[in-house]
Amino acid sequence: MAAEATNQKPSAAIKFARQAEKLSLQAHDISDEGPQDTTAVEARFITPQDPVIQTANGGRLPAVPLKEALELNKLRDEVEGQTPQVKSPGHEPGKTGHEESLDGSSLPDHASQQSTRPEATLKTAIPPSRTHPLFPELPLYGPPTLLRDLQCLFFRFTSAILSLAFLGVIVLGSAFTSIPLMFRHVGLRLTFRDPNARRPFYEEEKRRAKRRKEEENAWRQQKRRRTSIQKTTDDNDEAGHSADEYEPMEGGKDPLVCDVGYYARRVGLDMEEYKVQTEDGYIIDLWHLYNPKDYTPQSPSHRKQHEPGVFPGGHETRASVRITNTSQRSGKRKYPVLLIHGLLQSAGAYCANDDDSLAFFLAKSGYDVWLGNNRCGFQPQHALLTPNDPRMWNWNIRQMGVMDLSALVSRVLSETGFEKLGLICHSQGTTQTFVALAKEQRPDLGNKISVFCALAPAVYAGPLIGKMYLKFMRIISPGMFRVIFGIHAFIPFMMTMHAWLPGKLYGALGYRVFSFLFNWTDDRWDQGIRDRLFQFAPVYVSAESMRWWLGRECFATQKCILATREEGIHEDEEDEEEDHHQYTHDHSIFQQQQSSEDMLQKPPETTGHADRGRKAWYDPQVPPFALWVCGSDELVDGRRLLRRFQRGREPHVRVVHSKVIEEYEHLDVLWAMDSVEKVGEEVREVIWRTVPEDVRTLCMIPRDCERVDPWVDR
Between CA 225 and CA 283 the distance in angstroms is 38
C-beta of residue 453 within 8 angstroms of C-beta of residue 459? no
Q: Is the pLDDT of residue 511 over 70?
A: yes
CA-nearest of 232, 492, 514 to 379 is: 492
Band (pLDDT 50/70/90 cuts) for residue 11 is: confident
Would the CA dihedral through 51, 55, 60, 63 be positive or negative? negative
CB 40 within 8 A of CB 54: yes
Strand partners, 698: none
> By percentage, how much of the chain surpasses pLDDT 90?
57
Q: With contact defined as beta carbons under 8 Å apart, do 397 and 134 qualify?
A: no
Q: How confident is the model at residue 263 (pLDDT cuts 50, 70, 90)?
A: very high
11 or 50, higher pLDDT? 50
Give the pLDDT band of residue 680 (cuts 50, 70, 90). Answer: very high
Q: Taking residues 199-216, report their average pLDDT.
A: 91
CA atoms within 13 A on the CB side of 262: 14
Q: Where are the alpha helices (DSSP H) in 448-542?
A: 468-475, 478-485, 493-500, 503-518, 530-533
Tell me, what's the pLDDT at 8? 58
For residue 42, what are the β-bridge partners? 54
Exposed, middle or buried by CB within 10 Å (0-12, 13-18, 19+), for 270?
buried
pLDDT category of residue 106 using cuts at 50, 70 and 90:
very low
- Average pLDDT for 671-678: 96
Compute how many other C-beta atoms are within 10 angstroms of the C-beta atom of residue 613.
14
Residues 20 and 154: their CA atoms lie apart, in Å, by 27
CA 160 to chain centre: 27
Q: How far is CA 284 from CA 183, 375, 410, 451, in A?
A: 45, 5, 13, 23
pLDDT in tens, 568-623: 888 888 888 877 666 565 555 545 554 444 433 444 443 445 567 778 999 999 99
d(CA 325, CA 321): 9
Give per-residue pLDDT as tens, 297-346: 999 999 999 988 898 764 444 444 444 454 454 458 999 999 999 999 99
Identify the pLDDT of residue 582.
64
The answer to whether residue 141 scores a pLDDT higher than 70 is yes
Secondary element (H or E) of residue 151:
helix 146-190
For position 573, what pLDDT does the model report? 86
pLDDT at 123: 40
Q: pLDDT tens, 42-84?
A: 999 999 889 999 999 889 999 899 999 999 999 998 888 766 5
pLDDT, the chain, mean = 83
- The predicted structure's pLDDT at residue 608: 47
Asked whether residue 354 carries a pLDDT value surpassing 80, the answer given is yes
pLDDT band of residue 517 (cuts 50, 70, 90) is confident
Between 124 and 488, name the one with better pLDDT. 488
- Angle among Cα 500, 667, 290 to the nearest 5 degrees reads 75
User: Looking at residue 610, what is its pLDDT?
Assistant: 54
> For residues 56 and 69, is the Cβ–Cβ distance under 8 A?
no
| 34: pLDDT strictly greater than 60 | no
Confidence of residue 426 (pLDDT cuts 50, 70, 90): very high
> Three-class SS of residue 384?
coil
What pLDDT does residue 222 have? 72
Please check the confidence at residue 121 and state whether its pLDDT lies above 90: no
Asked whether the predicted pLDDT for residue 10 surpasses 50, the reply is yes
State the average pLDDT over residues 409-420.
Answer: 96
Asked if pLDDT for residue 406 goes beyond 60, the answer is: yes
Q: What is the pLDDT of residue 606?
A: 39
How large a percentage of the chain has pLDDT more than 70? 79
Condensed to tens digits (0 to 9), the pLDDT of residues 219-260 reads 888 765 544 444 444 444 444 444 468 889 998 889 999 999
